Structure 1
Amino acid sequence: MFAKLSKEKFLNLVENIKEYVDLFTLEEGLEQFKKCRLKAVQINGDSVQAQVRDYQYYTATIDVNDFLESYCTCGAKDFCSHLAAVFFYLYSSHRWPDTFLAEAKEHRKQQAAKKTVELLDKTTVKKPLPKDSVEAWHHYFELVYGQMINLHEHSRYKFLDGLQYYLVFSGIYEKFQEKMFSHSSGWPVTLREIFRLHSVLFLMDRLEKINRTHQWFSLTASQPAYCERCEQELLNHIPKITIEQKEVLRPFLQKILETVQEHYFQPSQTLFDWRFIHGVLWGTILYHPALVERETAFLKRKLLTPSPDRYKAGLGLVFFKVLENEDAAARSILQELDNLRVRDLFEYLSSFRRVGDWQRLLEWLRWLLPRAEHTDRHEFEILCEYWNDAAGESGVQEEALRVLKTWLPRSRRFYADLLLQLKLYRDWVELNILYASDSADISPADSRLLENKDPAALLPLYHQWAARLIESKNRKSYQEAVKLLKKLRSLYKKLKLGREWDEFINYLAAPGRILRLGRAANKGTSLPVWRNGFKILSLCLAPAFLLRFLYRNHTA
């Protein structure tokens, strides 16, 4: 097949595809080639044609003389993956296709780096100084960012999907930040960090605006991790500055405020957690009396206006009230909001727990009690965790027990944990008996704890488990029942109840009773058994190894 094309034309085709076809198209084409989706390959002069199966069969034709004239019936305007599959079919006669893909990736990487340097060097961009205005800083950001974006737009690289856009933008992000960090490396520390904070915020703003239009980035599974990384980068460059320094730097802070405010009130879903960013920045670098006064006035106007912004404005005001230790005023604002989401308050509850402010945490937990029934599973479990923590640290064990008990059965796991924490072992056993807990529901550590602290309390629970295992009527459950009966035997001995154990086993293992048990096994009937106050419920279809255990453990 390769012999029908001149070597010179083939090598020109290889170089053109290496230079201009985007890597994602090549990867898809290679995958189609490897899956043998080509048929009816024909070489007619300087064109190569083949049928490529995708959602249907498409006819892909490569023009070897001018690969830009290649076309496919799939309708793609650019060199598509079906054409790439045909190319790899040709290339496989020359070398292994994976080799070409590796070379193309390395070539593209080198070219991108070279062109970036050339573009930036050729363009006369006035680099900002520490003493320059915030407008000068952002003008510089715009120019450098524009050059990097143009570099990709002038290549034949197209933003076809979220993954492609993620890789392109992440590459721009790295180069952009590298340039900004390098430029500001010799600046005074405070201005250097504010400059870098602005540069990160600038890129986050750009990514949000582009994604708002095209929804490219949100399509990729890498988006959450990448966005968290950007947010962390932002936090890493928040300097600690005094009120006096903030006064001097107010224009720089005002620009940060405007950017965050714009995205905080976005009605559509955002890539970044702007409410979190809003809180962190206002709690640190933005906290200046004049800025706070202006922001709260703005939020109050929003709160009075019936609009989708009202809820976010209310949460914004709550943030400032909590920051100023005015929790009662914060709760009054929340009382006026419709459809309050409990999860929107977790940042405050978490903060109180982290610093050990248990009284404030308790006041909020009590206020949230009527709203607990409207929470989803995640929210409810977090509330239960907070109550458990508060009980252990602030001496309100009885109150926490009452709260978790009223929330049963949803709170069962947390109520059980608190019972163990308070050493109410008998109550813990009663809870598990009441809700017919399975042995798999209880951690071995909890079982061992009770076996050491109050083994007698476990007897009725273990009898319930054994009975349920036997009633399951399958070999595996019978094997588990024997293991449990052995554990029961050790507990009886530990409690020095050997006589009671012998009586119990003698009762089960009496010859007549065993005979009836065997008959019941054959008939599939049930034999209720009561002994020593414990209901064994029934022994059905017991296999030989269970009967042998009963024989070996009786003394009669």
Structure 2
Amino acid sequence: MLKLQIPKNRMKELIGHLRNDFELAQLERGWEYVHKGLVTEAELKHGVEVHALVRGAKAFEVILDLDQYGKSECSCSEGPSCEHMAALVFWLYASFARPELLLQQLKQAIRVKSRQQRQSGAKAAEKRQDRLDPPTAEQMPGQWQKFFEQQFYGFSLSQQHSIELFHSAAKEKLTPYGNEWEPALRTLYALQMLLFIMRKIEQFYQEMRSSYLSYYIETGCKTVGRLCQEELLRLVPELDVRKLTRDYAAQWKETLAMIESMALSGKESPLSWPTVYRSVWWQMQDQPKWLKAEHERVRRLLETPDLMPRRRDALVMAAAHFAVIEGDDEEARAQMERLTKREAKDFFLYLHHCYEREAWDRMLAWLRWLLPVVQRAQQEELRQFCHYWMEAVQQQDDDREWIEVMVALLPRTYSFYTSYLMKTSRYRAWIDLQLASHISPQNLYSVDLHTVEKHDATLVLPLYHQAVERTIAEKNRTAYAAAGRMLKKLESLYKKLQRQKAWDDYIYRLATKHSRLRALQEELKRGKWVP
């Protein structure tokens, strides 16, 4: 009977939506439509959309988007989850098993869910009776964190409740409580608020990894995580460490302990907790007693036998950072050679620190050490690496080293290298790069081509010759037309250079070489290059 069967994993996702987004009455009516044979004209369109008609009192058109369920729709007026949509899902399920059995399973699941919601509602009512008072300046950060947790108790992620929504809601709701505190404590409160948001991001990330929304959640967690980390790195320099260690030592010590527990655990996370740890301790460089105690504690942890690789790497990174704080980068890099896995993003903290202080020689030493790591880095990390090196190269006597780095990292550095060559008026090298990369002049900025042509028109000739040959090799009329346009440009260049004979020789040899390509010969005749 059925002529349409979707992949099993898509079917599981649809069943999840039936369980989570539909009322029991809607599911029962949807099954009745299938049972009475009222689902008709079902077909798969565009590879990811199932279209069908569900005929009740009226005929309604249902569209199920298998790729992005949120885009699914029905022509009825009941909203995004209706009995007609449920009917189409039951109809699709019939190619796997009996829809009535699925209905029974869903009924049971919905009853259990309803019972759990009633129980959680009762617990939530109890919790509301035990509401904590708003944070005060006299409390410890742990109490602030408990209050934060209570304010967002029961918040869960879904298509309607994104991680971005949680981030904005948390900042809007929690920020005002510390606004009237004295500056040092107010900044500490802001740090604690960011730590709470980051911990919740990590929690959501772990909880939703097996969900059908896992990719959506993971992407959101990483995006918002980067945003929080950038906010935190801007906030850390504002910390009045001297006042915190003197007047609020207990609160500050508890804050450091929270950061350490996250950063030195070595567990997988969408956040870079080691970067948070190192940036905070860097602010403690005027507190030698605190630094010495923490450094010794990290060294003792490193001596623990049978450390897991990720935890060991986190501890090695932390221990090496104390050498960086003391200004001994060479010793720090020597220690970091022990890392099981080095990632470029873990070291941009040092590059940015050097950039802010215009410590160009120090930055170059880190850049050279990072070069092997960057070769396998993600494109965004490579982009940051190139920007830092471009800043450093401007302070050098020459840029030969920078050029060698860009060439070594080709083709990934093409955009940086081509831009730099144009900026420094290295037009011959720029042309050589386009030729080696097989870039057509049609894909280059016209202003760049015009600049090179104005400097020396002979330089662009090989670029057009190569592009013409590569275009003709595609052997279709569209390509021949494109070749014709480039030949017109070539002709004008040869005339500009007063090399008419060379042009005549070239066009004769081109026509002879491709004499069997009739469509190309027509294009050459149209350009009046052959009789």
Q: Judge same fold: TM > 0.5, yes or no.
A: yes
Corresponding residue of 1:78: 110
Corresponding residue of 1:223: 221
Distance 2:524 2:461 in 1: 20
Corresponding residue of 1:191: 185
Query: Are 1:314 and 1:337, in contact at CA under 8 Å, matched by a contact in 2?
Result: yes
Match of residue 461, structure 2, among 459, 462, 469 = 459
Distance 1:318 1:384 in 2: 25
Query: Are 2:316 and 2:336, in contact at CA under 8 Å, matched by a contact in 1?
Result: yes
In 2 relative to 1, CA 225–248 (structure 1 residues): closer, same or farther, beyond 3 Å?
same
Corresponding residue of 1:315: 317
Corresponding residue of 2:526: 548
Distance 1:76 1:371 in 2: 53
SS of the counterpart of 2:520?
A: coil
- Determine if the alignment matches structure 1 residue 138 to structure 2 residue 142: yes
Counterpart amino acid of residue 186 in structure 1: E
Counterpart amino acid of residue 444 in structure 1: S
In 2 relative to 1, CA 142–403 (structure 1 residues): closer, same or farther, beyond 3 Å?
closer
Corresponding residue of 1:528: none
Query: Are 2:266 and 2:314, in contact at CA under 8 Å, matched by a contact in 1?
Result: no
Distance 1:207 1:392 in 2: 39
SS of the counterpart of 2:279?
A: helix
* Residue 493 of structure 1, CA deviation: 3.8
Distance 2:225 2:106 in 1: 35
Query: Are 1:433 and 1:464, in contact at CA under 8 Å, matched by a contact in 2?
Result: yes
- Determine if the alignment matches structure 1 residue 504 to structure 2 residue 503: yes
Corresponding residue of 1:444: 446
Q: Which runs of 5+ in 2 are unaligned?
A: 1-16, 37-82, 115-120
Counterpart amino acid of residue 142 in structure 2: H
Corresponding residue of 2:368: 366
Counterpart amino acid of residue 255 in structure 1: E
Corresponding residue of 1:268: 267
* Residue 463 of structure 1, CA deviation: 1.9
- Alpha-carbon displacement from aligned partner over 1:254-290 (angstroms, at most 9, x marks no partner): 1111111111123432243312322333344797333
Corresponding residue of 1:12: none
In 2 relative to 1, CA 549–351 (structure 1 residues): closer, same or farther, beyond 3 Å?
farther
- Determine if the alignment matches structure 1 residue 475 to structure 2 residue 453: no
Counterpart amino acid of residue 258 in structure 2: T
Alignment of 1:20-31 (within 5 A): 27-29=21-23
RMSD: 4.7
* Residue 474 of structure 1, CA deviation: 1.9
In 2 relative to 1, CA 494–249 (structure 1 residues): closer, same or farther, beyond 3 Å?
farther
Corresponding residue of 1:14: none
In 2 relative to 1, CA 229–438 (structure 1 residues): closer, same or farther, beyond 3 Å?
closer
In 2 relative to 1, CA 447–148 (structure 1 residues): closer, same or farther, beyond 3 Å?
closer
Alignment of 1:276-315 (within 5 A): 276-284=275-283, 288-305=287-304, 307=307, 308=309, 309-315=311-317
Distance 2:148 2:357 in 1: 43
In 2 relative to 1, CA 289–503 (structure 1 residues): closer, same or farther, beyond 3 Å?
closer
Match of residue 349, structure 1, among 339, 348, 351 = 351
Please say which of residues 353-362 and 379-388 is displaced more in the overlay: 379-388
Counterpart amino acid of residue 549 in structure 1: G
Alignment of 1:83-482 (within 5 A): 123=130, 125=132, 129-130=136-137, 132-134=138-140, 138-139=142-143, 141-142=145-146, 145-146=149-150, 149=153, 152=154, 162-163=157-158, 180-202=174-196, 204-205=198-199, 208=202, 212=206, 219=214, 220-221=216-217, 222-228=220-226, 230-231=228-229, 239-241=238-240, 243-284=242-283, 288-305=287-304, 307=307, 308=309, 309-353=311-355, 355-369=357-371, 383-406=385-408, 414-439=416-441, 442-482=444-484
Query: Are 2:298 and 2:319, in contact at CA under 8 Å, matched by a contact in 1?
Result: yes
Distance 1:236 1:378 in 2: 20
Query: Are 1:349 and 1:361, in contact at CA under 8 Å, matched by a contact in 2?
Result: yes
SS of the counterpart of 1:465?
A: helix
- Alpha-carbon displacement from aligned partner over 1:214-240 (angstroms, at most 9, x marks no partner): 757983533334444555665676543
- Alpha-carbon displacement from aligned partner over 1:296-337 (angstroms, at most 9, x marks no partner): 222223344452222112222333333443221221212233
- Alpha-carbon displacement from aligned partner over 1:65-91 (angstroms, at most 9, x marks no partner): xxxxxx933364434999xxxxxxxxx
* Residue 370 of structure 1, CA deviation: 5.2
- Alpha-carbon displacement from aligned partner over 1:380-419 (angstroms, at most 9, x marks no partner): 5654554444334423312223344455566555444443
Counterpart amino acid of residue 547 in structure 1: K
Alignment of 1:3-18 (within 5 A): none
In 2 relative to 1, CA 166–257 (structure 1 residues): closer, same or farther, beyond 3 Å?
farther
Query: Are 1:205 and 1:259, in contact at CA under 8 Å, matched by a contact in 2?
Result: no
In 2 relative to 1, CA 276–57 (structure 1 residues): closer, same or farther, beyond 3 Å?
farther
Over alpha carbons, which structure has the higher Rg?
Answer: 1
SS of the counterpart of 1:339?
A: coil
State the TM-score, normalizing by the size of structure 2: 0.67
Counterpart amino acid of residue 523 in structure 2: F
In 2 relative to 1, CA 58–254 (structure 1 residues): closer, same or farther, beyond 3 Å?
farther
SS of the counterpart of 1:272?
A: coil
In 2 relative to 1, CA 546–72 (structure 1 residues): closer, same or farther, beyond 3 Å?
same
Counterpart amino acid of residue 334 in structure 1: M
Percent of aligned positions that are identical: 23
Query: Are 1:455 and 1:491, in contact at CA under 8 Å, matched by a contact in 2?
Result: yes
- Alpha-carbon displacement from aligned partner over 1:416-461 (angstroms, at most 9, x marks no partner): 4443333222233234334543335543343222122222211222
SS of the counterpart of 1:269?
A: coil
Distance 1:426 1:176 in 2: 55
State the TM-score, normalizing by the size of structure 1: 0.65
Please say which of residues 211-220 and 258-267 is displaced more in the overlay: 211-220
Distance 2:313 2:475 in 1: 57
Q: Which runs of 5+ in 1 are unaligned?
A: 1-22, 42-47, 62-70, 83-111, 525-539
Query: Are 2:148 and 2:196, in contact at CA under 8 Å, matched by a contact in 1?
Result: no
Distance 2:268 2:435 in 1: 46
In 2 relative to 1, CA 178–317 (structure 1 residues): closer, same or farther, beyond 3 Å?
same
Distance 2:335 2:163 in 1: 44
Corresponding residue of 1:488: 490
Query: Are 1:416 and 1:431, in contact at CA under 8 Å, matched by a contact in 2?
Result: yes
Please say which of residues 461-470 and 204-213 is displaced more in the overlay: 204-213
Query: Are 1:475 and 1:543, in contact at CA under 8 Å, matched by a contact in 2?
Result: no
SS of the counterpart of 1:291?
A: helix
Distance 2:344 2:125 in 1: 50
Corresponding residue of 1:99: none
Query: Are 1:180 and 1:196, in contact at CA under 8 Å, matched by a contact in 2?
Result: no
